[in-house]
Amino acid sequence: MIYLFHGTDAGRARAKAFLWVAAARTKAPDAAYLRLEGDSLSETSIRNAISAQGLFHTKSLVLIDDPFADAETGEIVLSLLDELAASENPIAIVAPKLLAARAKKLEAIATKVFKEDALPKRERGFNSGLVNALAAKDGQALWKEIVKAERQGDAPEALHGLLHWKARDLMQKGSTKWGKDGARALSVSLIELLSDSRSGDLPLGPALERFALSL
């Protein structure tokens, strides 16, 4: 049985694979664990892993680490896909940045696929989703927008600046959701949040998330 870990975000794909291995070893601590990588990857070693059994456990846990980094070992894995899929052993294949044609072949035969793609870079510009969520006093939506923006590379300071600008905008233009006093209190709380984060109370990113969830 094949468990495939791939995607354009190599770090996250590898991290997911090793977390999966750790969880599997916790569930079956007596099972043998084989990790094949680099020079240890060959047709012989892979065939042995397919049928390997431990001394106290009928199955072995196998990790084939980045076989497609080398053209020859990659072709060996492709040629043995049916045997790997039919194996009673759980076989994790870590293949970051796998070519689309190869990914399709492996995904079609894998027991489970874990794909970790890098988030697309968005054009920098006005984040209307962020300010609209604040204007609507929708804490859950605001939290999601903050998390999304941070994952896309926006600095917490930039997000805070935009939020505080919107708070001032609400004070000037009025808001049915916040009211004049509420908008003024919002502006003050954002100023205090920035000050507290600089004094070491809580880093600005997590502080913004906590603020959003408090609305």
Least reliable range by pLDDT among 65-74, 163-172, 182-191, 195-204:
195-204
Q: Which of 52, 82, 115 is the last residue of a domain?
A: 115
For residue 59, name the pLDDT band (cuts at 50, 70, 90).
Answer: confident
Residues 77 and 6 in one domain: yes
In 28-138, alpha helices (H): 43-51, 71-79, 81-86, 100-109, 128-135
Q: Which of 115, 144, 176 is the last residue of a domain?
A: 115
Which pLDDT score is estimated for 122? 52
User: How much is the average pLDDT of 180-190?
Assistant: 93
Q: How many domains does the chain have?
A: 2
Q: Residue 188: its pLDDT value, please? A: 93
* Sheet arrangement for strand 2-7: 32-37, 60-65, 91-96, 2-7, 112-115
Instruction: Return the DSSP state at 40.
Output: G
What range defines the domain where residue 107 resides?
2-115
Answer whether residue 125 shows pLDDT above 90: no
Do residues 56 and 141 both lie within one domain? no
User: Can you tell me the distance from the alpha carbon of 84 to that of 109, in angstroms, rounded to the nearest whole number?
Assistant: 9
Give the residue-averaged pLDDT of 196-203.
81
Answer yes or no: is 141 within a domain. Answer: yes
Residue 143 lies in a domain: yes
Domain contains 147: yes
Same domain membership, residue 174 and residue 79: no
Domain boundary among 115, 137, 165: 115
Query: Residue 160: inside a domain, yes or no?
Result: yes
Say if 79 falls within a structural domain.
Answer: yes
- Residue 120 pLDDT > 70, yes or no? no
Question: Phi, psi (5° rounding) for residue 92?
Answer: -90, 130
DSSP element (H, E) containing 53:
none
Q: Are 142 and 165 in contact (CB under 8 A)?
A: no
pTM of the model: 0.57
In a domain, 120, yes or no: no
If asked whether residues 99 and 137 sit together in one domain, one would say: no
Clarify whether residues 106 and 188 are in a common domain: no
- Reported as a single tens digit per residue, the pLDDT across 138-181 is 999 999 999 999 888 888 998 999 999 999 999 989 889 999 89
Helix, strand, coil abundance in the chain, percent, nearest 5: 60, 15, 30
**CB-CB contact of 106 with 81 (8 Å):** yes
In a domain, 122, yes or no: no
Same-domain status, 110 and 204: no
Residues 155, 192 within the same domain: yes
Residue 51 lies in a domain: yes
Kindly state the DSSP code that residue 18 receives in the 8-state scheme: H
Q: What CATH number has the domain bearing residue 40?
A: 3.40.50.300
**Mean of the pLDDT values across residues 12-33?**
89
Q: What is the pLDDT of residue 177?
A: 93
105/13 same-domain check: yes
